Amino acid sequence: MEDELKFSMRFFSDQQLCYADLLPPSEVLPRIEVAVLNFLRILTSPAPAISDLSLVARNSSNGRVSEGILTEVSWIFLSRSSCTRSLMRANAAKAFVRVWKVMEMCYKILAEGKRVTQRELYYKLICDSPDYFSSQLEANRTIQVCIIYKNCAAPDVVALLRCSRYSLGIMASSRGLVAGRLLLQEPKQEVVDCSICGSSGHAISGDLDLLDNLILKSDARYIIVVEKHAIFQRLVEDRVFNQIPSILITAKGYPDIATRFLLHRMSRAFPELPILALVDWNPAGLAILCTFKFGSIGMGLEAYRYACNVKWLGLRGDDLQLILEEALVPLKPKDYQIAKSLMSSDIFPETYREELALMVQNGQRAEIEALYFHGYDFLGKFIGKKIVQANYI
């Protein structure tokens, strides 16, 4: 599947697509070494030219959309349009130093054969270089810069590392859970039956290598992505996956990389299974669905590796008839901000746009829990009816 996606990228060569490779340490270490050598060469040249740092622009104007020429999956990607950060200002110079500090730390981690989470890396950085790192956000942004930093001296402005976070030794910190009709098996390990893991489900590992090498077996007919942990627990406790032969997966809110990776992995292992999303009827729920479906601008270099053909099962506007007026909640300012961002996206489907416009027009949102008015066992019936009627978009 990944090979097909990379092949389809050739259709976008006129837009100069950027993407990050998933590489072993044996290839990443030399890339870091070459980056350092190139920088030293620039420093020792007769006319050093390091006043500017050219970066691949990570904003909506530089985002492009693949329409799934060879597959049904569409995803966000970034073109080679760049923005320039001046190094003449003191605060910008610090940001420049942070890039090399992160690369140095990643080099050490890879050389030792270790992996760390972004949080662990942050604490290592503030202990090692407290003058340059004061927040987790600074560390996260610098990691992204390491992925897409460009060598300004190169005539074709090639990317410096062009590899994924995981390739840098940075492991996903997973919140995700999976349950239902799925058998998981690590190589040479015992089989895990996700239908007997209790209401908490089976925890998804943050090790992407492990996830990629899992042996997956299932007799399910659907994969259901659940936005909220509490709803996931209710569905597992009610064993909805026996009534509706399905695999249930949740990221407990906004999706982390590991959960997205496993969902993508299952979509490759079971390409015939529809992937259906159950989210709140609000802009945040829709944003979560779209992240699973298309990826995000912030990870535009890696989106093709995690995007899936997710369909919107509910909640949707035509489900509001099942919800009491008193259960509808006014939209918050944050909801309007998310709605504005979604509306500005070229990738946003027209059917989703109409639903979002209805939310904004009504100024209200509905949570899945509002369906409990009909009884705690109603949610499974609600999902089953919509699936039988193929009522998803």
Catalytic residues: 123
Token pair of 331, please? 């939209």
How far is 43 from 129, CA to CA, in rounded Å?
A: 22
How far is 387 from 381, CA to CA, in rounded Å?
A: 10
Q: Which amino acid is at 46?
A: P
The full 3-state SS of 188-220, as one line of letters, equals CCCEEEHHHCCCCCEECCCCHHHHHCCEEECCC
Q: Which amino acid is at 123?
A: Y
**Whether residue 315 has a cis bond before it, omega within 30° of 0:** yes
**Spatial CA neighbour of 97 closest among 133, 150, 147, 123:** 133
How far is 357 from 380, CA to CA, in rounded Å?
A: 28
Contacts of 259 (CB under 8 A, 6+ apart): 174, 175, 176, 204, 249, 250, 251
Contacts of 367 (CB under 8 A, 6+ apart): 280, 281, 282, 327, 329
**Spatial CA neighbour of 387 closest among 289, 274, 231:** 274
